[in-house]
């Protein structure tokens, strides 16, 4: 029989992946490292995005090698897409190392082991040519996280030092490079080693190493006199430092290049920064350092240095990557298709000679394959057919299952790397290699491959792994128990997103291995084994899915069992919960039930009443009375429906009965739901992984029980029976349509008088009535008198002796009418318009057109007892027109209201406080204003002559008052400055006698007289000021010192002393005079005139100080003199004061 190993192009039992496919960066040194490199190069599949990426990178480098700047490259792709594999192979292809003697590929170069497309081979040859023209070809690779992570430049230099086989520490590497450039490196190292020292050790201790100090002094620092001096020189010249500047970075790299090439030329250099995105993470600081680092390398060495970095995300996917996007203009993105192609070619490639038999076997077992995981997101797909033989012995559904599992359990992403996927696939192929063809890899295989990793990362608890391991006792059943437990664990890590649950069917789909034998026998055994595991307490059944039990889970299960036993016997609690759920389900089912009646489509409310007591029959709503068989038998509901009859509010009740359906199942599921919820509520503090897992299991138990409860409740509601009043049962295909039909029929019973007002035109009636149209009822097809229409007649009867609009609305919107609101408001407004009703709001009459919709409820309506003929209405409108108020027919009430308001206002303006006459008596107007409707119009008609005469009288008086009041106010301003008693007495007489509106104006002549008197006095005050001002100027001009000063100094003196000319005032009118007096009263001009004397003295002193700055001012003091002796003493004192100034050489000015 053909075995699986025979269908592979490379027998997995005869091949191996060296070192599990894990390679190291840099040039290999040991035989094992060369073997790993050989495998990695020979297994590299240069197709798809790998080939495209290499071509992009190499072509871009060659195109820019002589340019001022070399574009950097960003290689992105999800975990496992082969980013690191691609750039590692590129580095080997770039340097093209030769395999040494003692290796399997001795003498061959790296490029010889890779099957490369011609265009890539051409680009690599071009790279060699460019290298020979420059300083050679060199590369360095590593991660910034492996160095001094806080400082990107220093970590980058450590990668370069390591690749150049230099010490990684900056100060040590700089010393070696310094010795090399002085051609002293070899001699210094030889001397250290001859003295018994280890070169690496002495470098690590370079600041205290006597051997190194002696060798350096001998071959490099020959001018120093002692080893201590050499050590001090090393400390000073090569200090330890955490970071370097951009210039120091460039200097160090240039030294490395010289060290590798032996010249000043820059080699064609590749720097690979693997996992750069992991280094940056969410650090803006690291992103900025990387940006500067890459920019420096790309620009400072021309186009010779290429930087390639890798990351999971494309450029710009994060704010940090967006920051450095400009430094990586070239992007290479890898996909899972490339990884799958590599695995298929390297591990799963089939022998063409056996491919036909393999396909035939797979076709024969396609029924089994196609049923696996049906209904989930990873179920078989049409495209699986094309890859089925290529992926064998992995089934596509299980490969997708593995991908999801690895993604959920591999927190660091290492298991998703390409080398890990190659290893896992290789081991899986080996596991079934000896089995007959048609024997595939079980999904549980991944558990064994990942168990160590899962335990290390904390995904798998040690006690859980131990429990699973103990299930395999060596027997067939023990092995199946073991495999099922492993698979249950893996499914538990998937969550619910993929739709995979650990039930018996799914477990069989995942663990079946022998496709030829089929799965029927296995599928029959699995439920038995699972039941055994549940009984043993190693697995717990949550609904129809299985989960592994833990010690913590056992405690939670115990708590659940205790709660469940208590609740299942608590009839009251279960009844309350059942009733709540039934109510909620009925409410949700009937939420869309609506009630709309008649042609007018008047909406009605539906009241779902869930209780044993009778619903409210006076609410005006259609009552849907819901009861269940747990509390009320069906016969009782049916009998009460018949007893309610077919008429009125009782006949409109809709009776709903919920059957006692699956009562035992509902009771059990309710108890489970409540018990699980109770345990979850009591155990909120979970801190261990076991507790969180137990909590999740209990939550699932609660959710599944809740789903079962909801399903049963839905069935109960679906089987509900619906009865109308009178006992007629409705069956319209469900609760909602049956209730909808019953509700619609109940409207006629609830509102038998609705048809009287059922018309779509009532909104138009209301609108036209507000517009003053007496024939508004034509909108509902009626042309007669509004009070004779059935609705109008009913409204008039409802108004009676008087009522608020809210009462009318309440009556006709309720049972048995249920009229639309417009059918109530429209007739109210229309009957008010036609004079059959009168309306008032807050005691004030209101016209029909002025009644707002929102105010109808507060408006009082009364029947109108007075009627007016059309002639009387015309005469009222004539009165209004003569008073300047224009209204149309049926608007007389509004016009009369305006007239009364106008007359009251005119009367108020025509009288008032003195000197206006006393206000006129307007009580008769207020009497008319207190009336309403036609009564007020009749009063206005009877008083129309008096009203017109009064209007003319108060209009004239108000107009005259408006004209004379400004002059009176102007007179008051003049009187403030008046000092003539006679004129003041005349003004008081006008006020006292209230003479302002006399036929002859008393104000204007008096105001003129006062103005003339004040004008003359003001002119006299101005003349006295001008005379004194002129005298002051004459005295100043008579001073000898005045003539020494120029015109600008004269102006300054006068301005400083405030000796100013009086302004030229305009005193033509009363307004001119009163304005000037308000600004500067006459008394103020007298004060200014008197002040000129003092201001003159100030000006004289200023003149002397300006003309004779050395002069001393003497002002004779005041004294009381009674005799000649006093005179002599006064003069002697004055003489001595004057002589003291003169003796000092200072002239004296006496002021």
Provide the residue count of the chain: 1151
At how many degrees (to 10) do helices 892-909 and 870-882 cross? 30
pTM of the model: 0.48
Residue 1012 has pLDDT above 50, yes or no: yes
Residue 927 falls inside a structural domain = no
- With tokens 């079934």, the residue in question is 432
Neighbours of 731 (CB within 10 A): 10
Six-digit token pair at 1068? 């033509």
Q: Is the distance from CB of 1018 to CB of 1064 less than 8 angstroms?
A: no
Residue 979 falls inside a structural domain = no
Residue 1148 or residue 789, greater confidence: 789
Indicate the pLDDT class of residue 80, thresholds 50, 70 and 90. Answer: low
Mean pLDDT, rounded, for 104-116: 89
Mean pLDDT, rounded, for 243-249: 93
Residue 64 sits in the same domain as residue 190: no
pLDDT at 216: 93
Please compute, for residue 259, the number of CA atoms within 13 A of its CA located in the half-sphere on the CB side.
Answer: 25
Q: Coil, strand or helix: which one is 198?
A: coil
**pLDDT digit string, tens, across residues 851-905:** 888 899 999 998 877 777 778 888 888 988 888 989 887 777 788 888 888 888 8
Percent of the chain with pLDDT over 70: 97
Q: Is the distance from CB of 73 to CB of 298 less than 8 angstroms?
A: no
Q: What is the dihedral of CA 405, 408, 410, 414, to 10 degrees?
A: 80
Q: Coil, strand or helix: which one is 628?
A: strand
Six-digit token pair at 770? 């507000």
Q: Is the distance from CB of 1010 to CB of 975 less than 8 angstroms?
A: yes
Which one of 272, 304, 335 terminates a domain? 335
Six-digit token pair at 641? 């429906």
- Ramachandran region of residue 524, left (φ > 0), alpha (ψ -120 to 50) or beta? alpha
In the 3-class helix/strand/coil scheme, how is 1014-1060 assigned residue by residue? HHHHHHHHHHHHHHHHHHHHHHHHHCHHHHHCCHHHHHHHHHHHCCC
Cα 281 → chain centroid:
24
**pLDDT digit string, tens, across residues 317-329:** 788 888 888 889 9
Q: Is the distance from CB of 137 to CB of 267 less than 8 angstroms?
A: yes
Residue 1102 sits in the same domain as residue 1118: no
Percent of the chain with pLDDT over 90: 47
Residue 511 falls inside a structural domain = yes
**pLDDT digit string, tens, across residues 535-574:** 676 888 776 788 888 777 778 878 888 899 999 989 999 9
Residue 818 or residue 550, greater confidence: 818
DSSP letter, residue 999: S
Q: Is the distance from CB of 1045 to CB of 1103 less than 8 angstroms?
A: yes
Weakest mean pLDDT among 25-39, 495-509, 519-533 = 25-39
What does the alpha-carbon distance between residue 472 and residue 483 come to, in Å, rounded to a whole number? 8
Neighbours of 495 (CB within 10 A): 11
Which of 304, 277, 337 has the alpha carbon at shortest distance from 80? 337
Residue 154 sits in the same domain as residue 110: yes
Residue 1076 sits in the same domain as residue 1147: no
pLDDT at 147: 60
Q: Coil, strand or helix: which one is 483?
A: helix
Residue 584 falls inside a structural domain = yes
Residue 974 falls inside a structural domain = no
pLDDT at 19: 57
Please compute, for residue 842, the number of CA atoms within 13 A of its CA located in the half-sphere on the CB side.
Answer: 2
Bridge-based pairing of strands 803-804 and 729-730 is: unpaired
Phi, psi of 891 (to 5 degrees): -115, 15
What does the alpha-carbon distance between residue 1069 and residue 1052 come to, in Å, rounded to a whole number? 36
What does the alpha-carbon distance between residue 144 and residue 16 come to, in Å, rounded to a whole number? 32
Distances (CA, A) of 661 to 578, 665, 677: 12, 9, 24
Residue 37 falls inside a structural domain = no
What does the alpha-carbon distance between residue 170 and residue 151 come to, in Å, rounded to a whole number? 12
CATH number of the domain that 95 lies in?
3.40.50.300
What does the alpha-carbon distance between residue 692 and residue 677 come to, in Å, rounded to a whole number? 15
At how many degrees (to 10) do helices 571-589 and 735-750 cross? 70
Please compute, for residue 1139, the number of CA atoms within 13 A of its CA located in the half-sphere on the CB side.
Answer: 6
Mean pLDDT, rounded, for 788-806: 92
Residue 21 has pLDDT above 70, yes or no: no
Residue 407 sits in the same domain as residue 427: yes
- Ramachandran region of residue 25, left (φ > 0), alpha (ψ -120 to 50) or beta? beta
What does the alpha-carbon distance between residue 951 and residue 930 come to, in Å, rounded to a whole number? 19
- Ramachandran region of residue 315, left (φ > 0), alpha (ψ -120 to 50) or beta? beta
Which one of 1109, 1127, 1142 terminates a domain? 1109
Mean pLDDT, rounded, for 1069-1082: 86
Phi, psi of 722 (to 5 degrees): -120, 130
What does the alpha-carbon distance between residue 121 and residue 112 come to, in Å, rounded to a whole number? 10
pLDDT at 415: 47
Residue 986 falls inside a structural domain = no
What does the alpha-carbon distance between residue 417 and residue 438 come to, in Å, rounded to a whole number? 29
Q: What is the dihedral of CA 743, 747, 749, 755, to 10 degrees?
A: -160
- With tokens 């489509």, the residue in question is 601
Q: What is the dihedral of CA 506, 507, 509, 514, to 10 degrees?
A: -170
Number of domains making up the chain: 7
**pLDDT digit string, tens, across residues 673-696:** 999 999 999 988 888 877 887 887
Residues 6+ apart with CB under 8 A from 190: none
Residue 419 or residue 359, greater confidence: 359
Residue 469 sits in the same domain as residue 405: yes
Residue 825 sits in the same domain as residue 795: yes
Q: Which residues in 785-836 belong to E strands, given as ranges?
A: 803-804
pLDDT at 26: 61
In the 3-class helix/strand/coil scheme, how is 266-310 assigned residue by residue? CCEEEEEECCHHHHHCCCHHHHHHHHHHHHHHHHHCCCCEEEEEE
Residue 371 sits in the same domain as residue 494: yes
Domain range for 1146: 1112-1151
Weakest mean pLDDT among 63-72, 593-602, 884-893 = 884-893
H or E element, residue 821? helix 821-833
Q: Is the distance from CB of 1025 to CB of 1062 less than 8 angstroms?
A: yes
Residue 153 sits in the same domain as residue 117: yes
Neighbours of 535 (CB within 10 A): 9
Q: What is the dihedral of CA 76, 80, 81, 86, to 10 degrees?
A: 80
Residue 757 sits in the same domain as residue 848: yes
Q: Is the dihedral of CA 1098, 1100, 1106, 1111 positive or negative?
A: negative
Bridge-based pairing of strands 545-548 and 539-542 is: antiparallel
pLDDT at 249: 94
Q: What is the dihedral of CA 217, 223, 227, 233, to 10 degrees?
A: -90
Residue 256 sits in the same domain as residue 329: yes
Bridge-based pairing of strands 595-597 and 860-863 is: unpaired
Which of 1056, 1082, 1064, 977 has the alpha carbon at shortest distance from 1026? 1064
pLDDT at 201: 95
Mean pLDDT, rounded, for 272-299: 90
Q: Which residues in 773-891 belong to E strands, given as ranges?
A: 803-804, 837-841, 844-846, 860-863
Residue 898 falls inside a structural domain = no
Q: Which residues in 781-920 belong to E strands, given as ranges?
A: 803-804, 837-841, 844-846, 860-863
Residue 722 sits in the same domain as residue 860: no
Mean pLDDT, rounded, for 696-718: 89
What does the alpha-carbon distance between residue 301 and residue 843 come to, in Å, rounded to a whole number? 98
What does the alpha-carbon distance between residue 1073 and residue 1014 come to, in Å, rounded to a whole number? 8
Mean pLDDT, rounded, for 794-817: 92
Residues 6+ apart with CB under 8 A from 279: 143, 144, 145, 149, 152, 273, 286, 290
Please compute, for residue 1093, the number of CA atoms within 13 A of its CA located in the half-sphere on the CB side.
Answer: 3
What does the alpha-carbon distance between residue 518 and residue 440 come to, in Å, rounded to a whole number? 12
Q: Is the distance from CB of 543 to CB of 701 less than 8 angstroms?
A: yes
Average pLDDT, the chain: 88
> Is the bond into 393 cis (omega within 30 degrees of 0)?
yes
Phi, psi of 607 (to 5 degrees): -110, 110
Residue 1076 has pLDDT above 70, yes or no: yes
**pLDDT digit string, tens, across residues 976-1007:** 888 888 878 888 888 888 887 888 888 888 88
At how many degrees (to 10) do helices 944-975 and 1003-1038 cross? 20
Which of 932, 787, 931 has the alpha carbon at shortest distance from 847? 932
């Amino acid at each position: 029989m053909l075995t699986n190993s025979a269908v592979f192009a490379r027998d997995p039992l005869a091949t191996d992946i060296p070192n599990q496919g894990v390679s190291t960066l840099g040039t290999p040194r040991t035989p094992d490292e060369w073997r790993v490199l050989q495998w990695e190069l020979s297994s590299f599949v240069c197709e798809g995005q790998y080939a495209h990426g290499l071509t992009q990178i190499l072509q871009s480098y060659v195109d820019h090698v002589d340019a001022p700047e070399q574009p950097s490259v960003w290689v992105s792709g999800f975990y496992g897409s082969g980013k690191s594999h691609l750039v590692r192979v590129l580095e080997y292809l770039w340097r093209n190392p030769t395999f040494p003697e003692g290796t399997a590929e001795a003498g061959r170069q790296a490029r010889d082991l890779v099957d490369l497309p011609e265009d890539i081979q051409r680009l690599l040859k071009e790279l060699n040519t460019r290298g020979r023209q420059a300083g050679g070809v060199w590369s360095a690779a590593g991660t910034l996280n492996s160095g001094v992570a806080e400082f990107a430049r220093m970590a980058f230099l450590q990668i370069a030092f390591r690749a150049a086989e230099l010490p990684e520490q900056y100060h040590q590497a700089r010393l070696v490079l310094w010795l090399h450039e002085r051609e002293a490196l070899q001699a210094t190292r030889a001397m250290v080693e001859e003295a018994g020292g280890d070169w690496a050790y002495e470098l690590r201790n370079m600041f205290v190493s006597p051997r190194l100090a002696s060798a350096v002094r001998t071959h490099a620092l020959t001018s120093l006199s002692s080893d201590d001096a050499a050590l001090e020189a090393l400390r000073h010249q090569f200090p330890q430092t955490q970071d370097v500047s951009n210039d120091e970075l460039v200097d160090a790299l240039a030294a490395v290049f010289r060290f590798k090439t032996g010249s000043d030329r820059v080699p064609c250099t590749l720097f690979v920064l693997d996992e750069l995105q992991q280094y940056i993470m969410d650090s803006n600081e690291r992103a900025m350092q990387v940006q500067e680092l890459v920019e420096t390398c790309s620009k400072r060495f021309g186009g010779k240095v290429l930087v390639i970095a890798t990351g999971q995300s494309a450029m710009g996917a994060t704010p940090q990557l967006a920051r450095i996007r400009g430094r990586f203009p070239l992007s290479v993105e890898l996909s899972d298709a490339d990884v799958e192609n590599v695995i298929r070619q390297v591990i799963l490639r089939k022998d063409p000679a056996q491919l036909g038999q393999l396909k035939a076997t797979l076709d024969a077992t396609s029924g089994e394959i196609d049923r696996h995981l049906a209904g989930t997101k990873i179920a078989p797909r049409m495209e699986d057919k094309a890859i089925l033989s290529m992926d064998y012995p992995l089934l596509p559904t299980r490969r997708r299952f593995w991908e999801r599992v690895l993604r959920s359990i591999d927190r660091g992403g290492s298991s998703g790397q390409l080398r890990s996927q190659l290893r896992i696939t290789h081991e899986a192929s080996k596991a079934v290699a000896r089995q007959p063809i048609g024997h595939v890899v079980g999904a549980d295989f991944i558990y064994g491959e990942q168990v160590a990793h899962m335990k290390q990362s904390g995904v798998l608890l040690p006690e859980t792994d131990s429990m699973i391991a103990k299930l395999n006792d060596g027997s067939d059943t023990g092995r199946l128990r073991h495999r099922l437990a492993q698979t249950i664990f893996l499914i538990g890590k998937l969550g619910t997103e993929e739709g995979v649950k650990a039930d018996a069917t799914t477990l069989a789909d995942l663990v079946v291995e022998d496709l030829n034998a089929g799965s029927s026998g296995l599928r029959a055994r699995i439920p038995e084994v699972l039941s055994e595991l549940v009984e043993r307490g190693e697995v717990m059944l949550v609904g129809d899915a299985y989960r592994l039990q833990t010690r913590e889970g056992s405690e939670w299960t115990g708590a659940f069992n205790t709660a469940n036993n208590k609740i299942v016997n608590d009839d009251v609690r279960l009844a309350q919960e059942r009733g709540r759920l039934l109510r909620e389900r009925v409410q949700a089912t009937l939420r869309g039930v609506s009630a709309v009646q008649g042609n007018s489509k008047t909406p009605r409310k539906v009241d779902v009443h869930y209780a044993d007591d009778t619903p409210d029959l006076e609410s005006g709503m259609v009552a849907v009375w819901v009861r269940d068989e747990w509390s009320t038998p069906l016969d009782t509901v049916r009998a009460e429906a018949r007893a309610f009859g077919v008429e009125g509010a009782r006949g409109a009740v809709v009776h709903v009965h919920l059957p006692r359906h699956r009562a035992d199942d509902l009771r059990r599921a309710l108890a489970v739901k409540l018990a699980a919820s109770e345990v979850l509520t009591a155990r909120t503090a979970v801190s261990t992984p076991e507790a969180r897992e137990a909590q999740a299991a209990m939550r699932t138990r609660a959710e599944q029980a809740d789903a079962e409860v909801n399903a049963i409740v839905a069935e109960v509601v679906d089987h509900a029976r619906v009865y109308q009043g009178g006992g007629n049962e409705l069956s319209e295909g469900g609760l909602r349509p049956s209730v909808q039909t019953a509700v619609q029929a109940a409207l006629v019973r609830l509102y038998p008088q609705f048809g009287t007002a059922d018309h779509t035109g009532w909104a138009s009636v209301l609108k036209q009535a507000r517009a003053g149209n007496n024939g508004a009822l034509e909108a509902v097809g009626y042309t007669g008198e509004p009070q004779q229409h059935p609705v109008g007649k009913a409204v008039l009867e409802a108004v009676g002796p008087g009522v608020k609009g809210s009462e009318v609305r309440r009556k006709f919107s309720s049972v048995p009418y249920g009229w639309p609101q417009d059918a109530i408001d429209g007739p109210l407004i229309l009957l008010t318009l036609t004079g059959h009703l009168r309306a008032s709001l807050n005691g004030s009459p209101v016209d029909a057109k002025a009644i707002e919709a929102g105010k109808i409820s507060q408006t009082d309506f009364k029947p109108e007892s007075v009627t007016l003929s059309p002639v009387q209405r015309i005469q009222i409108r004539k009165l209004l027109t003569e008073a300047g108020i224009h209204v149309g027919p049926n608007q007389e009430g509004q016009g009369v209201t305006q007239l009364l308001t106008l007359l009251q206002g005119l009367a108020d303006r025509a009288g008032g406080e003195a000197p206006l006459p006393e206000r006129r008596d307007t009580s008769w107007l207020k009497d008319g204003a207190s009336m309403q409707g036609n009564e007020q119009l009749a009063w206005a008609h009877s008083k129309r002559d008096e009203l017109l005469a009064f209007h003319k009288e108060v209009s004239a008086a108000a107009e005259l008052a408006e004209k004379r009041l400004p002059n009176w106010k102007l007179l008051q301003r003049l009187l403030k400055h008046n000092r003539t008693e006679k004129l003041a007495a005349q003004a008081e007489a006008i006020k006292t006698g209230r003479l302002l509106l006399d036929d002859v104006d008393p104000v204007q002549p008096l105001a003129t007289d006062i103005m003339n008197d004040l004008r003359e006095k003001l002119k006299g005050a101005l003349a006295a000021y001008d005379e004194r001002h002129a005298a002051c100027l004459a005295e100043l001009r008579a001073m000898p010192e005045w003539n020494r000063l120029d015109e600008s100094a004269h102006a300054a003196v006068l301005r400083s002393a405030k000796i100013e000319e009086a302004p030229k005032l305009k005193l033509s009118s009363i307004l001119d005079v009163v304005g000037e007096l308000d600004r500067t009263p006459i008394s103020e001009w007298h004060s200014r005139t008197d002040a000129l004397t003092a201001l003159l003295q100030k000006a004289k002193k200023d003149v002397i100080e300006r003309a004779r700055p050395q002069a001393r001012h003497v002002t004779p003091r005041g004294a009381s003199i009674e005799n000649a002796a006093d005179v002599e003493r006064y003069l002697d004192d004055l003489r001595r004061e004057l002589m003291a100034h003169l003796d000092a050489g200072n002239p004296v000015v006496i002021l």
